[in-house]
Structure 1
Amino acid sequence: MRHPIIVVFLALFLMACQAVGAERGALFRVTGHGHTLHLYGTIHAGRAGFYPLEPRIAQALAAAPALALEIDPSAYTPAMTATLSRYAVFAPGSPGIAALAPERRSRIEAALMQHGIAREDIAGLKPWMLVTMLAQREAAALGYVAEYGVDVHLARLAHEGREGRGRPLRVVELETWEYQLALFDRLTDEQQWRLLEETLAEMASGRQRQETRALFDAYERADQEALEAIARRIDSDDSIGGAYLRQVVLHERNGPMADKIASLLAREDKAVVAVGLLHLIGKHSLPELLRKRGIKVERIY
């Protein structure tokens, strides 16, 4: 009888561990200037099962004087809507997709409508925004939605006073909404159309969903080996989308973010920095850039 009792006990123990939050993403301890901060890798969509947060990050937040995010997703204003329109929507009088050759236009329109994107969106939105919408649909098809994004959850905790148990936590933005949108609009119109065509082809082959699932699986398990495999694939991807992700979305942003994290560490103790997980993996990651600045970085998981 003892063996079944032990099995039941272990099962209950594992269930209890899951109930208080599992390790997800990546967590680093960063030390310098006599101060320490936690650097946490997030993902911008999620599911209810991601919460509550793993105890170590929850405890770090409880002790933190500030939470640094790429941007505060809860601070959306009407002015930000206007900024989004400026970068994501073709200017009045622009031909948009009508500028493409008829066969190419028809092929793109048909593929987008198969994925539930309305004709009026196809006519008005720039290709990079359509790519973003497709990515959101792929994540949602796997059960991950923006409402449960980790950065959204962290911002909510900060503004509500750490789950209602204290004063609101100060939120520091490492970037601005306009800066991020301008990066997405960096590609020429032709490059954006080619990126959209690449994305549609990847979706048709099933590769897009496979890569999306791999990223969320690696995040959910805090799987260092799987995350480094993703980093290697990003480094070797010479498609338009791959090169743009590597050179602009990651490498170009990592340097300024590393500088701001180092500055935060110099003036504050016990802050928490939470940024997209892809910024924390690979040869040009934030942990590596911070180490090159003489700052000690230890991986917790």
Structure 2
Amino acid sequence: MARSILFALLLACCQSVFAAGQLYRVTHEGNTGYLYGTVHVGRDGSYPLNEIATRALLDSKALVIELDIREDKAFQIALARHARYPERDTIQRHLTPQTFQQLVQALTRAGISLASVQQYKPWLLANLLVGAELTQHGYQRSQAVEYALLAVAQKQDKTVHELESADYQLGLFDSLDEQQQEKYLLENLAALADGDALKKSQALIEAWRAGDGPGINAAWQSATSGDSVSAGFMSRVLLGKRNPEMAANIERIMQQDQTAFVGVGMLHLVGDDGLPQLLKRRGYQVEQLD
């Protein structure tokens, strides 16, 4: 009865449009799990899961996400280790004058003071500016799908597993050398200036909301294609390196828990080396539910 009441309450929080995303059922030797694609921002205050995903989550014994975003202390430690220059060192010493000037202009447009971020490395500044652009257009990190998943897990007293750590994730960006970091920043500054950054982010978010498989695939192609540092890093590291590691961790967790609901960024589910295909190669049956 309590589960049915919670299910009804969760659906009552939804507004007129249910988010679809993509949901897979994963089974192997009597173990069942669910694999769900998420986006890391939200808007409008609407509950981000549709009825099928909500039921799958409530029926699961454990929630598995990339990172428990409630754990700010671990993130701050990782940030200090991988994303900030030592005291008395600043971003200006690591960029050409031309790039630094473009950065200052972008920070001014975003309403961010240079003094508040001058110890941040170029890759973090690039990501910060893209995030600020999304925020200005109504997208909030606080409305990310992960928060809804964690809220259900807390109400249901579910075990929460992390696939990665903040130190690992930020360390991946810190693996870029100084030249690559400056190019990564320049590419993102250009995409912000011509509106391409916002356009690409909105395309993925709207495709996710509509459960638009071709649209999601197009967003993945756009993010991973070309000879830019950003595309190469996305293809080679953020997806190519992490997906096999995620698949191995998902398999380990599924062997421990009877039913696990795994929520990861939508792009991890796309392509021949996406998580559904990788799990199939490991002998799992993978069925798309929506």
Question: 2:3 is matched with which residue?
Answer: none
User: Counterparts in 2 of 1:168-187, with a 5 A limit?
Assistant: 168-187=157-176
CA change 1:235–1:184 in 2 (3 A) is closer
TM-score, length basis structure 2: 0.89
Which of 91, 99, 102 is the aligned partner of 1:96? Answer: 91
Is the counterpart of residue 295 in structure 1 residue 284 in structure 2?
yes
Counterpart of 2:25, as a letter, is R
Question: 2:72 is matched with which residue?
Answer: 76
Contact 2:122 2:185 in 1 (8 A): yes
CA change 1:106–1:235 in 2 (3 A) is closer
**Deviations along 1:56-108, whole A, 9 cap, x unmatched?**
2212222211101111111222x542321221111124343234343442233
Contact 2:24 2:287 in 1 (8 A): yes
Distance 1:134 1:232 in 2: 23
CA change 1:58–1:240 in 2 (3 A) is same
Distance 1:245 1:45 in 2: 18
Counterpart of 1:118, as a letter, is S
User: Counterparts in 2 of 1:1-301, with a 5 A limit?
Assistant: 19=15, 22-51=18-47, 53-77=49-73, 79-159=74-154, 161-162=155-156, 168-301=157-290
Q: Secondary structure at the match of 1:273?
A: strand
Distance 2:112 2:214 in 1: 36
Mind listing any 5+ residue stretches in structure 2 that lack a counterpart? 1-11
Counterpart of 2:69, as a letter, is P
TM-score, length basis structure 1: 0.86
Distance 1:38 1:243 in 2: 29
Count of aligned pairs between the two proteins: 279
Question: 1:8 is matched with which residue?
Answer: none
Percent identical: 35
Distance 1:239 1:53 in 2: 34
CA change 1:20–1:262 in 2 (3 A) is farther
CA change 1:297–1:124 in 2 (3 A) is same
Distance 2:220 2:248 in 1: 22
The structure whose Rg is larger is: 1
Q: Secondary structure at the match of 1:124?
A: coil
Mind listing any 5+ residue stretches in structure 1 that lack a counterpart? 1-15, 163-167
